[in-house]
Structure 1
Amino acid sequence: MLDVIIVGAGPVGLFMGALLLKQGRQIRILERRLNRSHRSRAIGIHPPALTELDRAGLSAPLLASGVRIERGVAYSKGKKIAELPFTGDPDFPFILAVPQPVTEQTLEQAVLALDSEAIIRGADVRHFADDGGTVSVRAASPSGEHTFTSRLLVAADGAHSLIRQRLLPGLPARSYPDSYLMGDFIDGTGHGDNAVLYLEPEGIVESFPLPGDVRRWVVRLGVSADGATAADLAALVQARTGAVLDPESNSMLSAFDVQSRLAGRMIHGRTVLLGDAAHEISPIGGQGMNLGWLDAAALAPLIDASLRGHAVGRQLQLFEKDRRRAAARASLQASLNMALGRPLPPPVMAARNSVFTYALEFPTVSALVERRFTMR
């Protein structure tokens, strides 16, 4: 019998697996996809998550692969209106930008180095049951159905988590009046390693450096952008910011709407919900993956203590309370980020930007905003 079954081999499930394997636990990570996705979606790794990755011995390859973003710069109507350093953390004075496929590959290699059989791909979980002492999971694969039994089950299967849907049917989601179109292009802006926000009356444009002289662009829209092309995104960016993008250099394009969902409980008997399965928030601000990693880092020692026979009921209650509070705080920050990017009449936008610029001149305000943006 296994110690832990993890459902989902995304960044959160892989990190959870690596932590448990380092404890000497017998695990299996069940992943529906046969292959890793090559789409570069989540890119920002914040200082608290870097600290936990470093403690687990996993930060070095990511640091070597990423771009260190040490400051954000805001523009409006072609003029720079504010700068914000991301240098408040003494150990990691930056936000690290790494394409998600690189992050997943790094974590997967770490897992397989500890147990070459830990990850089972093509395993589509169809059913699970908790008898009070063990959890059984039935998964379909190309070779047929397989049943796995473990002492604990961790659901890291994302925002559309089957396990959460079974445990919390009908959990409501909050929708927002925001849609986004984002894509990666060869960088010819001259912004270097800075994150850039263009606060424009038509809506915000965000821009982040990536390795290989690539830059991520995110444009806020009021309607869904399904079916949009790289040329469409390039045209929107140029119209709002003046930056010229080469559509032929586009390497990733994605349109998405925004919703949030917060589970009232993360712990259900011998099953724990982690990451987006427990708390789906807006990707604006890049907090979701980081939240999941911090969930895993807080849960791993409790799993270890529990499997060693220690009573951890009180600690699990505190874990759930703390992680739900962190998710609510991140969701609020994401909502504020989205509100900052919504269209405004030009006079109102100019007045708002002036207040924003003035406030950031005060060190206490700048430090507070920096802490919020870096999740410290």
Structure 2
Amino acid sequence: MTERRDVAIVGGGAAGLLLGCLLAQRGIDVVVLERRASPSRSSRAIGIHPPGLRALDAAGVGAAVRAEGHRVRGGIALAGGRQLARLRFDDLIHTLPQHRTEALLRERLAALAPGALRQGTEATGVRAAADGVALETAEGRVDARWVVGADGVRSTVRELAGIGVRAHRGTGPYAMADGPDGTGARGIALLHLERDGIVESFPLPGGARRWVARLREPEPAMTAERLQAILAARLAEPPRLPSDAPASAFVARQRLATTFARGPIALIGDAAHEVSPIGGQGMSLGWLDALELDRAIAAAAGPDPFAAYAAARRRAALRAMRRAAWNMGMGAPVQPAGRAARLALARALGLPPARGALAAAFTMRGL
């Protein structure tokens, strides 16, 4: 069976769903193909930065996200339990588990274009067609004028389009888990700059908090008990994680596609850029890709319709990667002499005019 669509989006995660909503609002005939048969509920992105929230507003779900999310109005840097610096966010960051944000986007897409989301459908081939791209699936073929790869860091669309990936600076092992928030710092992100590595925590809806710790070495078999021991060794007042809290470990890395578009095929989100989650910019960055690609599709013409989109969003991704690499460097394990210099820098960054620039970076201005 062959069907014809204006746009076929491969990947029904946060970025692909948002782009699907934007296109459907303009009356574009769009289909979103998602390999997974059911949504993931794994512990993933939580941060929704101001530009990302504006993208959600454009897709018609911003109000729902505000209603469910937790507002983060600032951050405090500490060392040994003592405050080094404090930031206030004039533009609030919101936190909401990614599976809830994606659920709201799925509901919106279903209202705009019933049946547009095809779960359990995997793209297996991409080739040029007479008037666009032929996308092969196990169920048949989708002929589309434009194809968008929103299918994550192991993007099938990117690979089939012959687009390469290059590693960039910024890597490190981390562990994380969610638990009850007993810090008393409601609405505040806490950054503990300790010798053995940073411990970060972020408030979540429902009185919860996410804890993230930099590790010296990767520990794939992470448990709540092991993470509790790490936090207890570094913090004067460690949290009490539930023994059954799902703990996970990951190695943050940064990779960038060599181009974000090739002819009628474009990439957005993690398919285009794998940005370290330290700083939490990846999901919102993908939404900004979607906003720009929606505009590019509206004006698309000629043999290279997405060249301007690709150049602009690649520059933005590089800026985000530099910020994330800096964040990771500030949180890496350090020797005593280096730690003293790092703490002095943290204090200086908490003072004007650096404080304003740092707050702007954390809230994703300029991306």
TM-score normalised to structure 2 length: 0.94
Change in Cα spacing, 1:250 to 1:83, as seen in structure 2 (3 Å) is farther
TM-aligned CA deviation for residue 175 of structure 1: 7.0
Alignment check: 8 A CA contact 1:72 1:85 kept: yes
TM-aligned CA deviation for residue 234 of structure 1: 1.2
Alignment check: 8 A CA contact 1:184 1:250 kept: no
TM-aligned CA deviation for residue 266 of structure 1: 1.1
Q: Does 1:371 align with 2:365?
A: no
Q: Which amino acid aligns with 2:321?
A: S
Alignment check: 8 A CA contact 2:11 2:151 kept: yes
Quick one: which of 14, 26, 30 aligns to 2:29? 26
Number of residues of Structure 1 aligned to a counterpart in Structure 2 = 362
Q: Which amino acid aligns with 2:270?
A: D
1:220-248 alpha-carbon deviations (Å, 9 max, x no partner): 01211211101111111121113333342
1:183-214 alpha-carbon deviations (Å, 9 max, x no partner): 11111121211000000011101100000111
Alignment check: 8 A CA contact 2:264 2:305 kept: no
What is aligned with 1:297? Answer: 291
What is aligned with 2:344? Answer: 354
Q: Distance in 2 between matches of 1:289 and 1:208?
A: 16
1:306-327 alpha-carbon deviations (Å, 9 max, x no partner): 3xxxx37787332222111100
TM-aligned CA deviation for residue 353 of structure 1: 0.9
Mark the runs of 5 or more structure 2 residues left unpaired by the alignment: none
Q: Distance in 2 between matches of 1:302 and 1:290?
A: 18
What is aligned with 1:7? Answer: 10
Q: Distance in 1 between matches of 2:27 and 2:265?
A: 20
Q: Distance in 2 between matches of 1:185 and 1:242?
A: 17
Q: Distance in 1 between matches of 2:128 and 2:312?
A: 25
What is aligned with 1:329? Answer: 319
1:311-354 alpha-carbon deviations (Å, 9 max, x no partner): 37787332222111100000000100000001112343133212
Quick one: which of 133, 136, 141 aligns to 2:134? 136
Quick one: which of 213, 221, 225 aligns to 1:219? 213
Alignment check: 8 A CA contact 1:132 1:269 kept: no
The secondary structure found in structure 2 opposite 1:245 is: coil
Change in Cα spacing, 1:314 to 1:121, as seen in structure 2 (3 Å) is closer
TM-aligned CA deviation for residue 10 of structure 1: 0.3
The secondary structure found in structure 2 opposite 1:180 is: strand
Quick one: which of 117, 120, 134 aligns to 2:118? 120
The secondary structure found in structure 1 opposite 2:19 is: helix
Q: Distance in 1 between matches of 2:93 and 2:123?
A: 35
Change in Cα spacing, 1:18 to 1:250, as seen in structure 2 (3 Å) is farther
Q: CA RMSD in A?
A: 1.7
What is aligned with 1:67? Answer: 70
The secondary structure found in structure 2 opposite 1:243 is: coil
TM-aligned CA deviation for residue 249 of structure 1: 6.0
Q: Distance in 1 between matches of 2:274 and 2:307?
A: 21
Change in Cα spacing, 1:138 to 1:44, as seen in structure 2 (3 Å) is same
Q: Which amino acid aligns with 2:314?
A: R
Q: Does 1:149 align with 2:152?
A: no
What is aligned with 1:190? Answer: 184
Change in Cα spacing, 1:30 to 1:203, as seen in structure 2 (3 Å) is same
Q: Which amino acid aligns with 1:5?
A: A
Change in Cα spacing, 1:258 to 1:355, as seen in structure 2 (3 Å) is closer
Q: Does 1:319 align with 2:322?
A: no
What is aligned with 1:206? Answer: 200
What is aligned with 1:37? Answer: 40
Q: Distance in 2 between matches of 1:127 and 1:66?
A: 38
What is aligned with 1:90? Answer: none
Q: Distance in 1 between matches of 2:49 and 2:244?
A: 26
Alignment check: 8 A CA contact 1:39 1:252 kept: no
What is aligned with 1:17? Answer: 20
Greater mean deviation of Cα atoms: 11-20 or 188-197? 188-197
Q: Distance in 1 between matches of 2:157 and 2:134?
A: 13
Q: How does 1:258-273 map to 2 (within 5 A)?
A: 258-273=252-267
Mark the runs of 5 or more structure 1 residues left unpaired by the alignment: 88-92
What is aligned with 2:332? Answer: 342
Report the identity percentage.
41
Alignment check: 8 A CA contact 2:349 2:358 kept: no
TM-aligned CA deviation for residue 219 of structure 1: 0.5
Greater mean deviation of Cα atoms: 111-120 or 176-185? 176-185
Q: Distance in 2 between matches of 1:77 and 1:247?
A: 20
Quick one: which of 44, 47, 50 aligns to 1:47? 50
Alignment check: 8 A CA contact 1:135 1:151 kept: yes
1:131-150 alpha-carbon deviations (Å, 9 max, x no partner): 2522111122xxxx321111
TM-aligned CA deviation for residue 64 of structure 1: 0.4
Q: Which amino acid aligns with 1:324?
A: R
1:238-291 alpha-carbon deviations (Å, 9 max, x no partner): 211133333426544221112221112111111101111111111111111111
Alignment check: 8 A CA contact 1:184 1:251 kept: yes
Q: Which amino acid aligns with 1:212?
A: G
What is aligned with 1:96? Answer: 94
Change in Cα spacing, 1:239 to 1:120, as seen in structure 2 (3 Å) is same
